[in-house]
Amino acid sequence: MFGYVFYWSLVWDAMPQLMAGAWLTLQIAVLSMFIGTVIGLGLALLRQKGRGTPLRLASAWVELARNTPVLFQIYMMYFGLGSLGIQISSYSAVLIALSFNNAGYLAEIFRGGLAAIHRQQLSAARSLGLSPLQGYLHVIFPQLLRIVFFGYVTQAVWALLNTSLGMLVGLQELSGAAQAAQSVTFRSFEFFFITALIYYALAKFMELGARVVFRRWLRV
Amino acid sequence: MQFVLADPGLHWRDALFLLEGAGHTLWVTAVSGLFGTLLGIALGWMRFSSGVLRIITAPYIDVVRSVPLIIQLVLANSFLSLAGVGFDTFWLCVMVLSSSMAVVTSEVVRAGLASVPQTFRRSARSLGMGKLQEFVFISAPLAVRTSFAAWVGLLLGLAKDSALVSVVGYVEYMKSSQILITRTNEALLLLLGVGIFYFVICYPVSRYSARLERRMAL
């Protein structure tokens, strides 16, 4: 059954490429989570307070992001925009698509959290002399992030795993780098096994990172 | 000499090709949804009822949730081929997709079972029901009430994840569109078709499940 000799040394030789890929993966995951959080908060507020066109646009964003595959969203940014004559790099295509996707999912997570915060919290903040923006920044959002903590961490890991789709539009993130490296040697099992281990480590790192950030800045 | 396709544009017979791809997407989703759910219920029950089993199965669940599906597919594919096991691509995809479905389902099942009040369980046992009877007649129906909507969400996630199986060569809707894009260069039109296809499946079901969740809330 196993007439196969494993060549792990080939993977060690390609380690610099894999590490560069891992760095790109982490970068896209963190950036897309950051952009997604900012937009997601806006979308959640629009869906709670907005009316008319802004509300409809926010709802359309959330439903589109949640009801189509991430791969479709990435292809749309890369091939779809390309056929409209707008050429963007695979890096920006993946980053934009994942930010779009994260914003949609996070908006839904935040909506659940906002519903759990009492309406009078904002009125209380306003009556103490805080501006609406200050009220949200200092009173509503800290509580919100505390409530949605677990959903948020899950989404962060999810964003990390989704960056692997960059491989399919030729981005040299971790999967893409592994794909390129294994195509020279055809040792796909060895390469993707190590890649899986690196992804596992990155996912744990992402989880830990989210925890530390929440502890430090939000005192969850 | 340059090779030129006779007529690279879109034809009506390409619709048949897309339809076949759509059928493949639905079929692979249905089969892995079935296996994944059954396995997930078993796994979730095991993890709920026994501390030892929970610790034993924890690494598996952790790994499946922390490694991208694409990598799992490629890894399973190359592992089977180096082990010399001939495997149909369809069943390979079903295996990987149902393993990931089982893992997420097990968490939902576990949460559903945990939401059944301990007192209900004790009362059932004190009325003379066996452990299995208590599960079938008391815990399971109550757990289904609380976790059904979440399970529907997982199924939709599975349908969307099935767009990735083309990396090991199974031609489902996404891949068949991509093949046509390569030939015809009609990227936007075909991609819009992909978006509408998934949206039309997922949107009504997710709306329905959200309504169901509100109505079923205990």
Residue at B5 is within a domain: no
What CA–CA distance (Å, rounded) separates B181 from B194?
12
Contact B160 A70 (CB under 8 A): yes
Q: Is the pLDDT of residue A45 over 70?
A: yes
Distance from CA of B116 to the nearest CA of A (A): 22
Contact B191 A79 (CB under 8 A): yes
Whichever domain contains B134, its CATH number is 1.10.3720.10
* End-to-end Cα distance, chain A: 52
Q: Tokens for B10, please give them.
A: 């879109």
Contacts of A192 in chain B (CB under 8 A): 71, 74-75, 78
Name the band, by pLDDT with cuts 50, 70 and 90, for residue A49. Answer: confident
Averaged over successive runs of 10 residues, the pLDDT of chain B (218 residues) comes to 72 87 94 96 90 91 93 91 84 95 94 90 91 89 88 93 91 91 87 94 90 76
Q: Which residue has the higher pLDDT, A7 or B42?
A: B42
Residue at B176 is within a domain: yes
Q: What is the 3-state secondary structure (H, E, C) of chain A?
A: CCCCCCCCHHHHHCHHHHHHHHHHHHHHHHHHHHHHHHHHHHHHHHHHHCCCHHHHHHHHHHHHHHHCCHHHHHHHHHHHHHHCCCCCCHHHHHHHHHHHHHHHHHHHHHHHHHHHCCCHHHHHHHHCCCCHHHHHHHHHHHHHHHHCHHHHHHHHHHHHHHHHHHHHHCCCCHHHHHHHHHHHHCCHHHHHHHHHHHHHHHHHHHHHHHHHHHHHHHCC
Instruction: Check residue A219 and give its pLDDT.
Output: 63
Residue at B84 is within a domain: yes
Residue at B2 is within a domain: no
Is residue B75 a contact partner of residue A196, using CB atoms and an 8 Å limit?
A: yes
Is residue B161 a contact partner of residue A69, using CB atoms and an 8 Å limit?
A: yes
Contact A67 B203 (CB under 8 A): yes
Instruction: Check residue B1 and give its pLDDT.
Output: 61
Contacts of B161 in chain A (CB under 8 A): 69
- Taking the Cβ of residue A72 and every Cβ of chain B, the question of whether any pair is shorter than 8 Å is answered with yes
Domain that holds residue B30: 13-216
Residue in A75, A80, A192 closest to B71 by CB: A192
All domains in chain A, ordered by first residue:
16-170+197-218 (1.10.3720.10)
Residue at B7 is within a domain: no
Contact A196 B70 (CB under 8 A): no
Q: Tokens for A108, please give them.
A: 């839904």
Instruction: Encode pLDDT of A150-181 as tens digits.
Output: 889 999 999 999 999 999 998 999 999 998 88
Q: What are phi and psi of B135, to 5 degrees?
A: -65, -50
Contacts of A87 in chain B (CB under 8 A): none
Instruction: Encode pLDDT of B21-78 as tens digits.
Output: 999 999 999 999 999 999 999 999 999 888 899 999 999 999 999 999 999 999 999 8
Is residue A143 a contact partner of residue A62, using CB atoms and an 8 Å limit?
A: no
Distance from CA of A100 to the nearest CA of B (A): 15
Residue at B153 is within a domain: yes
Output the pTM of the full model: 0.89
Domain count, chain B: 1
Instruction: Check residue B92 and give its pLDDT.
Output: 93
Residue at B4 is within a domain: no
Instruction: Check residue B7 and give its pLDDT.
Output: 73
Which of A10-14, A18-22, B73-77 is predicted with the least confidence, judged by mean pLDDT?
A10-14
Name the band, by pLDDT with cuts 50, 70 and 90, for residue A93. Answer: very high
Instruction: Check residue B217 and give its pLDDT.
Output: 66
Instruction: Check residue A6 and give its pLDDT.
Output: 79
